[in-house]
Amino acid sequence: MSAKKFGILLSTPPSHPSVETVAQLASEALTEGIDLYLYFIDEGVKNLRDHRYVELVGRGMKLFVCAYGCQQHGVSTDALDSRISLCGLVVLSNIVNGCDRFLAFT
């Protein structure tokens, strides 16, 4: 039996309480063996270098970041971890369609 797939969208800046909520939720999902897909969009791209999310990528979370959002918010993508994918909305659409559950934190 394949693992459950769980997708999360985060569009809030680092100062928003949802950033901590998503980090905790993501950690719990990984602990339960769930395939986890996180997509940063809008101001959520400002969380790209957050140590909590970098650690979650190391634990197996798939992190996708809106390339346009990085450009619009001046977020550097230099020396980005190769396990983090810069992409567009087509990938987000695929995550939404391919996951058993999807939550948006906006």
Output the CA torsion 79→65→103→43 (10° steps): 100
Q: Could you report the average pLDDT of every consecutive run of 10 residues in the chain (106 residues)?
A: 91 98 98 98 98 97 98 96 97 97 98
Q: How far is CA 51 from the centre of its chain?
A: 13
Rounded-to-integer distance, Cα 31 and Cα 26, Å: 9
What does pTM read for this prediction? 0.96
- Structure confidence at residue 54 (pLDDT): 96
Q: What angle do CA 89, 18, 39 make, to 5 degrees?
A: 20
Rounded-to-integer distance, Cα 30 and Cα 84, Å: 17
3-class SS shares of the chain: helix, strand, coil, % to 5 = 45, 25, 30
State both tokens at 4: 């459950």
- The CATH number assigned to the domain with range 5-101 reads 3.40.1260.10
Nearest to 71 by CA among 48, 52, 51, 45: 45
- Domain range summary for the chain, segments of one domain joined by +: 5-101
- Structure confidence at residue 1 (pLDDT): 62
